Amino acid sequence: MASYILAIDQGTTGSTVALMDAKGRMRASVNYEFPQIYPRPGWVEHRPADIWTSVQKGLRAILRKKICKPSEIAAIGITNQRETALLWDRRDGEPLNNAIVWQCRRTTDFCSKLQAGGHEKKVKRVTGLVLDPYFSASKFRWLLKNTAGVTKLLKSGRVAAGTIDSYVIWKLSGGATHATDVSNASRTSLMSLKTLDWDRSMMELFQVPRSILPEILPSSGVMGHTAGVPGLPDGIPIAGVAGDQQSALFGQACFDPGDAKCTFGTGSFILMNTGSEPLQSRSGLLTTVGWKLGKSGTPSYALEGGAFICGAAVQWLRDGLQMIKRAPDIEALATQVEDHDGVEFVPALTGLGAPHWAPEARGTLSGVTRGTQQGHIARATLDAMALQNADILRAMEQDLGKRMKPLRVDGGAASNNLLMQIQANVLGRRLIRPELIETTVAGACYLAGLGIDLWSNPAQLRKIWKAEQEFKVEMTAAARRKRLASWQKALDRTLL
């Protein structure tokens, strides 16, 4: 009997392919990185062929482990970097340009013009999002206006557009399925939170034709089937899809309103389940769709705040400044000093996200003296990763009008105990880290399993989720206020 779930986590810097069994145990996981492309300052691209190659490498590596036969794979779940946008040719699946990555700021001027024209209020009311180059719609528009030969292809109906989930589904299904799920569609600035369908007024505003967009489907349920994928049988159902942050929320078993998680990845993202009705933020946060289970299911919505640069700041210390050889080395370097000693690093390397929304902001390093050591910069980097999340939490609590529950944490950097303790201290909240730290992959598996009735309901999944460690607050309220005040001064300098 087929009882394994294959998950594809297509991330910003690499693709993870993993295998989960029917008891919710992660049996294997592999990751393959691919190149990042920076054509100009503030621009970030990916070659779609590199993305698909990394996925294929992962599939081959998982199958070589022989944990199960390919015929025992019951379903495939997909989770992905969300707002990254690309175009491809429907006839042969060939990309028409490089993908524009969610971090890319090339459409800042266009978004600013829409803001100046008074459109932001309607965009937020319809889509739950602010006018920012972060989201997919302005990226689609740029690609349509700057891709050679696209006008002719549009006239012949050959242009397909999508976020990365749509592209992976297309490739897995041999071009038979052009679809996305509600969570990814909610990140484009083109979907109505009310109807869960593409909104005509948003498509007109961003000049994106309906004909190129994928069908919007639930996050759990059969969306398509494999066809012509090397190593995999044809006909495996693609049964669960969600954007990476929503997938992590689901993987953390945050099924009830008020449940929240923070994922530490390339960026860091706090999401809180707000239930079956969208909650509009007044504090610079985003309203987004968490998931929808089946065609007849009720959608779950969430409030979200994201910092564009989190783990990427550590990568910059590693690759740009060459202060460390491996990303995990930052913890040992930071523990060489007692604290940040007045050094502040605001990692606005690609602008600032929630709740500031300053796409033109650039990183600042301040408070440096003759006594500053590499350890102080490392500590300031970890502090910044946590302090950005504290800003988001305060905004979220303002919208909710109450304190947040203990925060569940996940992602690669959540294994850094020093960072987790700093986070608990500056948040003033208890953190809970699960046994399965890569909950993004888990969420994709859970959604796919529900989509084929391997599990009958989320309550079964709640029993699978287990806590590994808790981090209690060890900072006094007075010390927290002082630390937050120093950070705010650094932010003010960055936002000038």
Task: Supply the pLDDT for residue 89.
Answer: 97
Q: Domains of the chain: which residue ranges?
A: 4-252
Task: Supply the pLDDT for residue 397.
Answer: 84
Distance between CA atoms of residues 96 and 118, nearest Å: 33
pLDDT band at 484; cut points 50, 70, 90: very high
Q: What angle do CA 22, 441, 198 make, to 5 degrees?
A: 110
Distance between CA atoms of residues 360 and 486, nearest Å: 22
Which single residue is written with the structure tokens 């992976």? 168
Write out pLDDT tens, residues 299-326: 999 999 988 888 889 999 999 999 999 9
Domain covering 4-252, topology: Nucleotidyltransferase; domain 5 (3.30.420)
Task: Supply the pLDDT for residue 4.
Answer: 96
Write out pLDDT tens, residues 353-402: 878 888 788 999 999 999 999 999 999 999 999 999 999 988 888 888 87
What residue type is 452 in one-letter code?
Answer: I
Q: In what order do the strands lie in the sheet with 45-46?
A: 45-46, 99-100, 85-89, 159-163
Write out pLDDT tens, residues 217-267: 999 999 999 999 999 999 999 999 999 999 999 999 999 888 899 988 888
Distance between CA atoms of residues 231 and 5, nearest Å: 15
Average pLDDT of the chain is: 93
Task: Supply the pLDDT for residue 403.
Answer: 79
- 355 against 426, higher pLDDT: 426
Angle formed by the axes of helices 244-251 and 439-451, nearest 10°: 80
pTM: 0.88
pLDDT beyond 80 at 1: no
